[in-house]
A and B are shown apart, each in its own frame.
Chain A
Amino acid sequence: MMKNNFRKYPASKKGFRAIIWLFIILLLVAIPSYFTTKNDIKTLAGRYNSPLSPIIMIPGSSASATRFEDLVSTINKKFDEHHSLLELTVHKDDSITYKGSIKNNDTRPFIVVGFENNKDGYSNIKQQARWFSIAFDALKSRYKFNNFDGFGHSNGGLIWTYFLEHYYEDDGINMNRMMTVGTPYNFEERDQAKRTQMLTDFINRKNKLPNDLTYYSIAGTKVYTDDGIVPIGSVEAGKYIFEGQINHYTLITLTGKNAQHSDMIDNPQFISLFHQYIIDDKNATSPNNTDRRSVSK
């Protein structure tokens, strides 16, 4: 008998009134948000902003995609940040394997692109740049970001440069900043007057470089002339490619302990430069992120 009563009327007046209120509130919220959303979606197509701005890294020759694992964990520890790490390896047959993941709500993940064939030499670098462009396209369609920062260690910087001059077209994806460490634009050649084929090619196509790019090139020296492997003159030769062509070109010379070619990415001085110029890149966050104002305006 009681059971039937439940169906007929609510058990308490208070409860009944609260239910009425619930639906009134829902209705009050629904009407304005319906029109705002309609309006938003109309304009959404034009300004669809993915908050993701990855830091894409290319290791040097004979290193694999795992090259930066220590660097990333050092940075996460040192600055108490939580960047995720995604490692891609592009194989000789153009296929890609993924390792790691981009965490939810991580807008500044590290993405490392390594190559199965990671050998030195100009012809290999050309190939690696092509492989990188394959990986880059895959990332682009998979994660839908519209800006990123680049980092290259040693020959990784050459791959970046070749990629920017040959494959990268300014189709809505913006490269904010690039940083390279010990990138030998003139290979092992000390004398900048003697230009290698690669340097000549780079200079010839320099007008293809994105002209809003900011680039920090770091050179290490041990004994005034080189970092143990790469002569400082070879790093410096990058000025012929970038100066006057991109927005800012900065050459930084690191000396002291750990300024050798391969150790350089463990160097605390380098890590703080990297953090300051690349991770803290203000352009990397979309304008909406720095603005406290609502998006729907």
Chain B
Amino acid sequence: MEQQFTHPLEKKLIDLNLRIQKIFLYRVLQKTVLTIFPFALIGSFSKTIQLVFLGKNGLFSNWTDFLSDNLFYQIDDIFSAISTMTLGWISVIAAFSAAKYTAKHLKRDDQLAGLTASLSLLIVAYTYSRKTPMSFHSAVLGIRGLLFAILLGVFIGYLFKWTSHKATEPDSFAMSTNMLKRTEISIRPILITIIISVIVSDLVNVTFYSNLPQTIITAVSSTNPSTQPFLSLLRTFGLGLYSIIMSFLGWSGPYSTGVNLTDTSSALNLDYALNHHTAWGAPDLFNSSTLYHTFATYGGQGATLALIIAILWVSRDHDFINVSRWSLIPSIFNVNSALMSGIPVFFNVIFFIPFVLAPIVNMILATIALQFHLMPPAVYSVPVGTPGPLVAFLGTNGSWQALVFTVFSLFISTLIYIPFVKIAEQVKLQDDISIDQGGADDEK
């Protein structure tokens, strides 16, 4: 397979990646993201059903109108429980996995380290509320807390190293039977972790700090929208770029939550279109919904539907193909968490470039097309879960120009992703993180 990488740049990128993959922290990040895949997969299916069929503004929510209220709410409850306890809980799983992997690598009691890390994250996210006795700041436990949870897990793994003995030889795994012995070895790091976590969670207003970047940027994004086309273009690109990078880290930017209800510029456009019965000539061509939500989010943040197509098109790697097939359905409806953790895309230096590049290129192309009036801007609001490639078509009330442009830009995005899929494949061939078990034999 070596012969296909004749391009020196590709070779260079592969070598660089292989070197980055040797960094322990990076390995833990990638390994952990892979571990949460099954839960992200189930969660993303459940979330898709919630958004598309059960949500108030969902694409097919009129299909469920025939259900009686009781039955509807019962079904709604079931899916909300599944989504909340998988996707909404994913960081607890990640903390466990990261600590377990780290502790195993450092030859400490990995199971207890994992459990301690999960516990620690829950303590940090605990709300001291007198009304509801057991509740948590949900923001820290979902995808948004992923990076923090993994770093926490690694820290706790190291804490086990610093404050407890080496766990006895692997072959005496009778250790698992001798709970008292294990307690004796690991009680100190567990206790330290709990104490630190309690102090942190009591002193630090977790919700405030976890929302702080969002609060600031939202304030920036919603105050004094400029009426100058160039400035509003700059602003849409800036905030779009910020949102994409944040999504790559599992966080969210001002555009991540979907179309802004109170966005005045979109309201103006809609107002115009309703009065003139056409989207052509709407006053604000370059706002978040005409550029970002319409052309930068095929399949979710980072235009990951293009990644799926790229993989299905050129990849020979069975894991990649399988993950893409499994996450195809949720991705069509813009839920990409399964794909993000299964490939993995989260924190993956290979995919960082196309993840940012593909949406930005789409937005640039769309800006040109809009500027030269090759298509009308998407001004009508589309239902939640409308497949990415259809947003422009439906948002312009069925403009064929917009649909043709979408197909074209999706193709461009796919081409952007293809070389990186090949690089990722090659890297995986030489150093597969997914089969890495942790422990001494990795350190060759």
A binds B: yes
Q: Which residues of A contact B261 (CB under 8 A)?
A: 50-52, 104-105, 107
Q: Which residues of A contact B314 (CB under 8 A)?
A: 6, 10-11
Say whether A203 faces chain B, with CB atoms less than 8 Å apart.
no
CB within 8 Å of B: which A31-88 residues: 33-34, 36-38, 41, 44-45, 48, 50-52, 80
Query: In the docked arrangement, what's the CA distance between A12 and B324, Å?
Result: 13
Instruction: Assess the B383–A33 pair: CB atoms within 8 A.
Output: yes
Say whether A173 faces chain B, with CB atoms less than 8 Å apart.
no
Query: In the docked arrangement, what's the CA distance between A41 and B276, Å?
Result: 12
Q: Which residues of A contact B274 (CB under 8 A)?
A: 41, 44-45, 48
Given contacts A25-B332, A105-B260, A293-B62, 16 further A-B contacts (CB under 8 A): A2-B4, A11-B313, A11-B315, A12-B312, A15-B315, A18-B312, A22-B312, A33-B383, A38-B398, A50-B267, A103-B218, A104-B260, A142-B264, A291-B56, A294-B65, A296-B61
Q: Which residues of B contact A11 (CB under 8 A)?
A: 313-316
Instruction: Return the CB mask of B379-395 against A: 1 if under 8 Å, else 0.
Output: 01011001101100110
Query: In the docked arrangement, what's the CA distance between A292 and B316, Å?
Result: 45
Instruction: Assess the A33–B271 pair: CB atoms within 8 A.
Output: no
Query: In the docked arrangement, what's the CA distance between A234 and B260, Å?
Result: 45
Instruction: Assess the B328–A22 pair: CB atoms within 8 A.
Output: yes
A-B contact pairs, 30 of them (CB 8 A): A3-B6, A11-B316, A12-B315, A15-B311, A15-B312, A16-B312, A18-B312, A18-B321, A22-B312, A26-B389, A26-B390, A29-B332, A29-B387, A29-B390, A33-B394, A37-B382, A38-B398, A41-B380, A44-B274, A45-B274, A45-B275, A103-B222, A104-B261, A104-B262, A293-B56, A293-B62, A294-B58, A294-B61, A296-B61, A297-B62
Name the CB-closest residue of A to B322. A14
Instruction: Assess the A104–B59 pair: CB atoms within 8 A.
Output: no
Given A26-B332, A143-B262, A293-B65, are A104 and B390 neighbors across the interface (CB < 8 Å)? no
Query: In the docked arrangement, what's the CA distance between A291 and B270, Å?
Result: 24
Name the CB-closest residue of A to B211. A82
Query: In the docked arrangement, what's the CA distance between A106 and B380, Å?
Result: 20
Query: In the docked arrangement, what's the CA distance between A41 and B381, Å?
Result: 9
Instruction: Assess the A52–B65 pair: CB atoms within 8 A.
Output: no
Say whether B74 faces chain A, with CB atoms less than 8 Å apart.
no
Say whether A19 faces chain B, with CB atoms less than 8 Å apart.
yes
CB within 8 Å of A: which B264-302 residues: 264, 267, 270-271, 274-275
Chain B facing A: main interface SS? helix
Instruction: Assess the B223–A98 pair: CB atoms within 8 A.
Output: yes
Say whether B57 faces chain A, with CB atoms less than 8 Å apart.
yes
Q: Which residues of B contact A142 (CB under 8 A)?
A: 264
For the complex, count residues of A whose C-beta is within 8 A of B.
52
CB within 8 Å of B: which A103-123 residues: 103-107
Interface centre among B3, B223, B274, B394 (most CB of A within 10 A): B394
**Closest 9 pairs (CB-CB, A-B):** A15-B312, A294-B61, A294-B62, A2-B4, A45-B274, A101-B222, A11-B316, A144-B267, A37-B394
Q: Which residues of B contact A22 (CB under 8 A)?
A: 308-309, 312, 328, 332
Task: Tell me the smallest distance from the CB of A139 to a CB of chain B, in Å.
Answer: 11
Q: Which residues of A contact B177 (CB under 8 A)?
A: none
Instruction: Assess the B380–A19 pair: CB atoms within 8 A.
Output: no
Name the CB-closest residue of A to B264. A142
Say whether B224 faces chain A, with CB atoms less than 8 Å apart.
yes
Instruction: Assess the A288–B328 pair: CB atoms within 8 A.
Output: no
Given A2-B4, A19-B309, A98-B224, are A37 and B262 neighbors across the interface (CB < 8 Å)? no
Instruction: Assess the A37–B257 pair: CB atoms within 8 A.
Output: no
Question: When the two chains form the complex, which single residue of A18, A36, A104 contacts B254, counting CB atoms closer than 8 Å?
Answer: A104
Say whether B72 faces chain A, with CB atoms less than 8 Å apart.
yes
Question: When the two chains form the complex, which single residue of B59, B65, B222 contacts A29, counting CB atoms closer than 8 Å?
Answer: B59
Q: Which residues of B contact A38 (CB under 8 A)?
A: 397-398
Query: In the docked arrangement, what's the CA distance between A131 and B129, Å?
Result: 43
Query: In the docked arrangement, what's the CA distance between A101 and B397, Å?
Result: 31
Say whether B166 faces chain A, with CB atoms less than 8 Å apart.
no
Question: When the two chains form the complex, which single residue of A19, A29, A291, A297 contacts B313, counting CB atoms closer than 8 Å?
Answer: A19
Q: Which residues of B contact A36 (CB under 8 A)?
A: 62
Instruction: Return the CB mask of A267-297 against B: 1 if under 8 Å, else 0.
Output: 0000000000000000000001101111111
CB within 8 Å of A: which B353-406 residues: 380, 382-383, 386-387, 389-390, 393-394, 397-398
Instruction: Assess the A30–B390 pair: CB atoms within 8 A.
Output: yes
Interface centre among A26, A29, A100, A295 (most CB of B within 10 A): A29
Say whether A223 faces chain B, with CB atoms less than 8 Å apart.
no
Query: In the docked arrangement, what's the CA distance between A106 and B219, Å?
Result: 13
Task: Tell me the smallest distance from the CB of A33 to a CB of chain B, in Å.
Answer: 6
Say whether B171 faces chain A, with CB atoms less than 8 Å apart.
no
Q: Which residues of A contact B58 (CB under 8 A)?
A: 294
Interface centre among B267, B311, B389 (most CB of A within 10 A): B267
Say whether A213 faces chain B, with CB atoms less than 8 Å apart.
no
Q: Which residues of A contact B1 (CB under 8 A)?
A: 2
Say whether B69 faces chain A, with CB atoms less than 8 Å apart.
yes
Say whether B182 faces chain A, with CB atoms less than 8 Å apart.
no
Instruction: Assess the A18–B325 pair: CB atoms within 8 A.
Output: yes
